[in-house]
Amino acid sequence: MSLTLPAPVTEPELPAAPGTGPAPDPDLVDFAGHAATRLRERDGALYSLLARESARQRDTLMMVAASSVADPSVLACEGSTLGNLTAEGFPGNRYHAGCGVADEIERLAIDRACAAFGAVDAIVQPHSGSSANLAVITALLSPGDSLLGLDLDCGGHLTHGSPASVTGRYYRAHGYRVTPEGLLDYDQIRELALEHRPKLIVCGASAYPRSIDFARFREIADEANAYLLADISHIAGLVAAGLHQSPVDHAHVTTTSTYKQLYGPRGGLILLGREARRAGPERGTLAATLRRAVFPFTQGTPDLASVAAKARALDFVASPDFAELAKRLADGAQAIAERLSDRGFRLVTGGTDTHMVLLDLRGTGVTGDVAEQALESCGIVVNRNRVPGDTTPVRVTGGLRLGTNTLAARGMDHAVAAECADLVADVLMALRAQGGVLPDALRDRVRTRVSELCAAHPLPGYLP
Ligand SMILES: *Cc1c(COP(=O)(O)O)cnc(C)c1O
């Protein structure tokens, strides 16, 4: 097993960016191989850990909904010499010399982000989705101001006002909840907005399998005289592909992580639509306010390697191949939801409109943590998740969250996704029947089938 560059790939690759030649600069190719060889020679312990992780990813079914797999061309950007570059500031406005190439790269990333989402402006420097949210919230609110976001245990994110996050500690955070069926209740959200008059309403979620009506959220925000932040970290790919309503022109600001459904590097984006040029809460436009909020208010120097990797991922997101991938990930989630329902499992909201399926295990005698561990022992990686109304401790949980980002990237269609759901169901039903203990024979059977599926659907572009 080796971390060095794979041999040339014959399967269809990500399309080359217009205007760039098809062949990569041989210096970079040689350098990447040399760099991995050097790592192996100088630090065998670390090298073998990286190699083990590579092999693990190749041979497991990754069904964590917050996860995906970046094309090697994205990883090449992250491992490039751009990591050496310090470029404090923004394109055309840096605090030191040597940033000419950095400016071109960052402008390319901004242009591609705008193109992928039909945005007017984009900020590509946030180190993560959480950093993007922190920048937006600190830009729009003063300490002690109030915000309204989806409660964590109803599928919201920590940065939407959880007391465990600075967003719930330094701001007066109010939460809206989902109905007993697990659905957003826009009338309740409106009532809470009019009661608490938050300065900011946050929509978007980490564990919500249904589509979100951003236009309706904007109506509520306007009525309550609040800003609207749409955090599309989980569904950014569906939004870019037109398979989910886009918030970009509804919300004042849209944020996303780049490593989930955009198949990019660790990182975040801030997107602005028709509100980009409106006056911000302090001097300048909303876009200018948010740029200052990223640097210097909440971050220092940008990571240009990650910015380049975002540019690479966003070029793919705007391509026809991505539209197919997005369709496959929605179809896969439908197939998983149908198969699990058919086999008697209860799904939060009864199904899905996205890449995500939330399984409610309460009443089955199997908890989320036991299911998560048993599935991992079979090579199926998922995460335990609380479901609405869940009273089990967070480390235990009464549910599982499944997602199709990586399955779809491996080219698995709805039939294969349904088979993956069957494997999950087989394990869960055995756990239920055996008091939480997985029989070895079943584990071996599922593990073998997982390996076969992974071999038949290799990670895209990874195979030598
Ligand atoms: C994952 C997620 C984030 C955080 O992104 P990081 O890049 O991991 O910091 C923010 N918001 C939502 C809704 C998420 O699901």
Which atom of ligand 1 is nearest to 234's Cα? 15
Average of pLDDT values for 355-376? 97
* Nearest residue by C-alpha to atom 3 in ligand 1: 129
Distance 443 CA to ligand 1 centre (A): 32
- Per-residue pLDDT tens digits for 208-224: 999 999 999 999 999 99
pLDDT at 231: 98
Average of pLDDT values for 404-416? 98
pLDDT at 5: 43
- pLDDT > 60? residue 18: no
Distance 233 CA to ligand 1 centre (A): 6
Please choose from 136, 137, 151, 159 the residue to mutate so as to test ligand 1's pocket, defined by most ligand atoms within 8 A of CB. 159
- Per-residue pLDDT tens digits for 155-182: 999 999 999 999 999 999 999 999 999 9
pLDDT at 4: 47
Using pLDDT thresholds of 50, 70 and 90, give the confidence band for residue 280: confident
pLDDT at 20: 52
pLDDT at 166: 95
- pLDDT > 70? residue 22: no
Find how far residue 436's CA is from the centre of its chain: 31
- pLDDT > 50? residue 449: yes
Average of pLDDT values for 450-454? 98
Higher pLDDT, 113 or 14: 113
Distance 237 CA to ligand 1 centre (A): 14
pLDDT at 25: 61
Map tokens 């198949």 to a residue: 263
Distance 447 CA to ligand 1 centre (A): 30
Distance 210 CA to ligand 1 centre (A): 17
Distance 356 CA to ligand 1 centre (A): 15
CA distance 207 to 351: 13
- pLDDT > 50? residue 348: yes
Which atom of ligand 1 is nearest to 131's Cα? 9
DSSP letters, 65-126, are TT-----HHHHHHHTSGGGG----EETTEESSSS-HHHHHHHHHHHHHHHHHHT-SEEE---
- Per-residue pLDDT tens digits for 54-80: 999 999 999 999 999 999 999 999 999
CATH code 3.40.640.10 region(s) in the chain:
83-317
- The closest alpha carbon to 1, from 54, 64, 65, 45, belongs to 54
The answer on whether 156 is annotated among ligand-binding residues is yes
Average of pLDDT values for 302-330? 97
pLDDT at 24: 55
Average of pLDDT values for 371-396? 96
Using a 6 Å CB cutoff, which residues line ligand 1?
A: 66, 128-130, 133, 157, 159, 204-206, 231, 233-234, 257, 268
Which atom of ligand 1 is nearest to 133's Cα? 10
* Nearest residue by C-alpha to atom 15 in ligand 1: 206
Using pLDDT thresholds of 50, 70 and 90, give the confidence band for residue 26: low
CA distance 87 to 291: 15
- pLDDT > 90? residue 292: yes
Write down the CATH number for the domain with range 320-456: 3.90.1150.10
Distance 232 CA to ligand 1 centre (A): 9
CATH code 3.90.1150.10 region(s) in the chain:
320-456
- pLDDT > 50? residue 323: yes
Please choose from 157, 165, 184, 294 the residue to mutate so as to test ligand 1's pocket, defined by most ligand atoms within 8 A of CB. 157
Which atom of ligand 1 is nearest to 259's Cα? 7
The rounded mean pLDDT for the chain is 94
Using pLDDT thresholds of 50, 70 and 90, give the confidence band for residue 281: confident
Which atom of ligand 1 is nearest to 267's Cα? 7
Find how far residue 205's CA is from the centre of its chain: 11
Q: Structure tokens of 300?
A: 């220092």
Please choose from 231, 263, 269, 294 the residue to mutate so as to test ligand 1's pocket, defined by most ligand atoms within 8 A of CB. 231
> What does DSSP assign to residue 298?
I
* Nearest residue by C-alpha to atom 1 in ligand 1: 233
Provide CB contacts within 8 A for 414, sequence distance 6+.
328, 331, 332, 334, 335
- The closest alpha carbon to 355, from 58, 56, 68, 61, belongs to 68
pLDDT exceeding 90 applies to what percent of the chain?
Answer: 92
Fold assignment, 83-317:
Aspartate Aminotransferase; domain 2 (3.40.640)
Which atom of ligand 1 is nearest to 156's Cα? 13
Which atom of ligand 1 is nearest to 204's Cα? 13
Q: Is the dihedral angle over the CA atoms 391, 396, 400, 406 positive or is it negative? A: positive
pLDDT exceeding 70 applies to what percent of the chain?
Answer: 94
Average of pLDDT values for 91-119? 97
Single-letter amino acid code for the residue at 33: G
Using pLDDT thresholds of 50, 70 and 90, give the confidence band for residue 21: low
Distance 157 CA to ligand 1 centre (A): 7
pLDDT at 283: 84
CA distance 356 to 333: 6
The answer on whether 50 is annotated among ligand-binding residues is no
Distance 231 CA to ligand 1 centre (A): 8
* Nearest residue by C-alpha to atom 6 in ligand 1: 129
pLDDT at 12: 45
